[in-house]
Chains A and B, each alone.
Chain A
Amino acid sequence: MAIIEQPAPVGAPALPAAPTPTRTYGALRRPVATTGWKSWVFTVDHKKLGIMYGVVAMFFFIVGGIEALLIRLQLAAPNGKVLSADVYNQMFTMHATTMVFLFVMPMAAAFANYFIPLQIGARDVAFPRINAFGFWTLVGGGIIVNLSWFLGGAADGGWFMYAPNSGPVFSPSHGVDFWALGLQITGIASLTGAINLIVTVLNMRAPGMSLMKMPVFTWLQLVVQFLLLFAIPVITVALFLLSFQRNFGATFFDVSAGADPLLWQHLFWIFGHPEVYVLILPSFGIISEVLPVFSKKPLFGYPFVVFSGAAIGFVGWGVWAHHMFASGLGPVSVAVFSIATMAIAIPTGVKIVNWTMTLWGGKLRFTAAMHFAVGLIVLFTIGGLSGVTHSVAPSDTQQTDTYYIVAHFHYVLFGGAIFGLFAGFYYWWPKMFGKQLNERLGKANFWFMVIGMNLTFGPMHMIGLQGQPRRMYVWTEARAGEGFFNIAFWNMVASIGAFILAFGVLLFLINVFKTTRSKEVAPLDPWDARTLEWMTTSPPKEHNFDAIPTVHHLDEFFHRKYEQDPNTHEMKQVATAEDILREQEANADKHIHMPSPSYWPIVLAGGLPVIALGIIYSIPVAIVGAAIVVLALFGWSLEPSTAPDSDFDPPASGDGTKELAPLG
């Protein structure tokens, strides 16, 4: 990884100059590797970190998917024997935890990391080392959460870990300890990431890019980061209380000691409801990029999409208790939260109207990405409507803890969030890797996933209303019912659907494998795109842009390619992506300072799992972990983010430099 790159003359590849660290910071000299594993492990480059986030998230997607298949195998037939009751409890708890915290959130973070700086015309994020720290912290947290499988059994209280099931009496293994501390660690990753990305979006925009000229993906990610910023500390409190109860003998949620178990439920859902929007808004952002490109029209009502996104973010704070209608809140609370929940359907409906109107009258191109985007609109609408039925408290009382709820949130999370992420894969793959995913396989991938997901989660509406409860490890033939509503039949359909769905995901992995091996290079602008990330090479150079573009329009890249004909009022192409890139390379900045790689983020992140293991097994180990953290913090604060000028050959003269913040 080069610390400085001097853009070479047009046409020739840029040659990185090698840095020579002259000073040590603490005990370690700066890492300098530009190739091999060291260039990845110690990198602070937002693009490499974005890819690593994606790889880790995909790994956990497969883990969580296998857990889901085991659950569906167990439930395919009455009195299933695949899993014991105990392992079944662990399986659904870890399936949800993995999918929410270790797949959807990190995958959204992968896109945010990779594309926010590119979309706002920046060379990196505001705090590159904190970015690297966030990634390694996520890895540490994911390992801690999953380590429990091998150390006496995983957490088994459901992903919301209600008291008293989370207490030592009902969950005597260390599973919940690992769960609480692991999520605490991933929370640190989300919080630092949120601060980093908010500062990046506010402070690192290219000249001319006012807030209302930002791409929608960046906007909705900004809303998401604010939600994380304020929601993570709430779950931090809840998890600390839980850890103190389990590890230090406090009784915060122990009813026999006079505690109120609703305390946990409130804290969890004050976090949990904004979290729902944390999961879905990035995908809304992705399809708000995909739909205009493949409709060849600007997004319909851009300000409405932005403001309804912000409104969802705000109102999302006032609806948490709708997860608790059956807990005996009292009529006033239930009425207030019920009405607030109905209100939040409005900004969501606004978005669906905007997307549909974007399609209306457009020149539609049904690429794989477009398939997934349209799939999201349809499936999310179904899930949204069943969500509105929960907002009616009396109806919710009947639905609570049945498969109807499972159906609802899989339509919004699988049909919504995950379809959006897949749209992102197909849309941005050529940008990230310079190669295009196979479109035929991509469409097959889409159809298997969409059919599989409807077969899996569609019948759950029915079996839920028939009364099959969630989280029960078996169901019996005797209570299966008759005729069309026979739950035995529909459970089998759901299980078959799950395997069709899994086959769809497998097709994606095959597609990735084939594309990686293929030599075919993607065109510079394969989709005729609209936003700044397409204004550079694919994959982008380490410094993203040779010259930082000046922005005049929303959809700047489109407006550089097309101009309106004054007579016919039609958009006419005036330049190609290649022309625009050539012009940029000709005006390249002379010296570009990029933030330098560092050992400290991974060292600091490595101390946290040690602390967690120490809290569970032996306090002296925790002290060692804390010592690692403190030492890493000292090393970090003494080391400048960007290596000093004297470390470069040739020495940087300073003209044309774009310095980044020193502390990050």
Chain B
Amino acid sequence: MADTAVHHAEHGHHTSTGLSNNKLGMWLFLGSECLLFGGLISTYMIYRGRVGEGPRPGNVFDIPFTSVSSFVLLMSSLTMVLAVAAAQKRDDRGTTLWLTVTGLLGATFVGGQMYEFTAMYNEGLGYTTSLFGSAFYTLTGFHGVHVTVGIIMLFSLVAIIKRSNVPGDKAEVVELVGLYWHFVDIVWIIIFTLVYLIPA
């Protein structure tokens, strides 16, 4: 990518607003995702008390455990932002290092979520046990899928940077993946408080 530098200098400047198409598109997508998670969170809020014969939220949540995995996800936002900073300095080694760390932290979070789901299932909360169960697994599952997609993007990006064939502006691609990653993190900030810390 010999022309990356030239391209970087120019990027965005031939658009009417001077902003990059890709970044504008990503922000629009994130704005739209607010309505998606809003709908899932609201559904959970309506149904969290409808436990039927099954366990109540307070009985199945393991707050200390979830606090740790929330902390892990929060810190992955720091490593992500370090990857973006490295990419902007054209430091490929730093970029791939921090992207890998971010991906691993994300994988830890997803692993924790799987462990948590298994533990809840063993305590009697299946997907179809109650409306609370369905709504809870749907909401956290959607978030988990978003994190997983993010992890796949992070590791793919590492592989692609190593083979140095990112089409277009490398720093921008890292930044876009970063925006998505931070968004997944802020959604969890909300879920952690509204779902876990505030009891039904």
- A interface residues (Cβ-Cβ under 8 A, vs B): 126-127, 191, 194-196, 198-199, 202-205, 209, 229-234, 236-238, 240-241, 244, 248-252, 257-260, 263, 267, 630, 634, 637-641, 658-664
Contacts and interface: CB of A to CB of B under 8 A. Distances in A.
Contacts of B50: 258-259
Given A630-B152, A664-B22, 17 more contacts: A194-B32, A199-B25, A230-B32, A230-B35, A232-B32, A233-B36, A234-B35, A236-B36, A236-B39, A237-B43, A252-B43, A258-B131, A263-B43, A662-B22, A662-B168, A663-B167, A664-B21
Nearest to B49: A258
B138 A663 contact: no
B165 interface: yes
B39 A250 contact: no
A240 B46 CA distance: 17
A202 B138 contact: no
Contacts of A662: 22, 167-169
Contacts of A205: 16
A251 B43 contact: no
Contacts, number: 121
Contact of A240 (B22, B138, B160, B168): B138
A205 B17 CA distance: 9
4 smallest beta-carbon distances between A and B, as pairs = A662-B168, A237-B39, A233-B36, A203-B15
Interface string B120-157: 00000001101100110010000000000000100010
A113 B104 CA distance: 41
Contacts of A252: 43, 47, 131, 134-135
B128 A233 contact: no
Contacts of A658: 14
B97 interface: no
Given A203-B19, A230-B31, A237-B36, A195 B167 contact: no
Interface string B45-65: 011001010000000000000
B128 A258 contact: no
Nearest to B6: A654
B17 A202 contact: yes
Given A195-B28, A236-B36, A659-B14, A126 B43 contact: no
A343 B24 CA distance: 33
Contact of A663 (B17, B22, B52, B131): B22
A286 B134 CA distance: 45
Nearest to A130: B25
A634 B155 CA distance: 12
B67 interface: no
Contacts of A203: 15-17, 19, 21, 24
B135 A638 contact: no
Nearest to A205: B16
A547 to B, nearest CB: 15
Interface residues of B, number: 39
B115 interface: no
B40 interface: yes
B191 to A, nearest CB: 15
Interface in B153-200: 156, 160, 165, 167-169, 173
A248 B127 contact: yes
B29 interface: yes
Contacts of A249: 127-128
B127 A663 contact: no
B70 to A, nearest CB: 23
Interface of B: 14-17, 19-22, 24-25, 28-29, 31-33, 35-36, 39-40, 43, 46-47, 50, 52, 127-128, 130-131, 134-135, 138, 152, 156, 160, 165, 167-169, 173
B39 A199 contact: no
B19 A241 contact: no
Given A202-B16, A203-B19, A258-B52, A241 B28 contact: no
Contacts of B160: 637-638
Contact of B131 (A236, A237, A251): A251
Contacts of B156: 634, 637
B19 to A, nearest CB: 7
B28 A251 contact: no
A233 B131 contact: no
B83 to A, nearest CB: 18
B134 A663 contact: no
B33 A233 contact: yes
A639 B160 CA distance: 12
B20 A661 contact: yes
Given A203-B16, A252-B131, A638 B25 contact: no
Contacts of A248: 127-128
Given A199-B21, A252-B134, A233 B32 contact: yes
A263 B46 contact: yes
Nearest to A196: B25
28 contacts: A191-B32, A194-B32, A202-B19, A203-B19, A205-B16, A233-B32, A236-B36, A237-B39, A240-B138, A241-B43, A241-B138, A244-B134, A251-B134, A252-B135, A258-B50, A259-B50, A263-B46, A637-B156, A637-B160, A638-B160, A640-B168, A659-B14, A661-B20, A661-B22, A662-B168, A663-B21, A664-B22, A664-B25
A544 to B, nearest CB: 16
B43 A198 contact: no
B174 to A, nearest CB: 13
Contacts of A237: 36, 39-40, 43
B127 A250 contact: yes
Contacts of A660: 21
Contact of A661 (B21, B127, B152, B165): B21
B24 A229 contact: no
A191 B22 CA distance: 15
A202 B32 contact: no
Nearest to A244: B138
Contacts of A640: 167-168
Nearest to B35: A233
Given A241-B43, A244-B138, A127 B25 contact: yes
Contacts of A638: 160, 165, 167
A468 to B, nearest CB: 36
A259 B47 contact: yes
A230 B19 CA distance: 22
A258 B156 CA distance: 44
Contacts of B22: 661-664
A198 B20 CA distance: 13
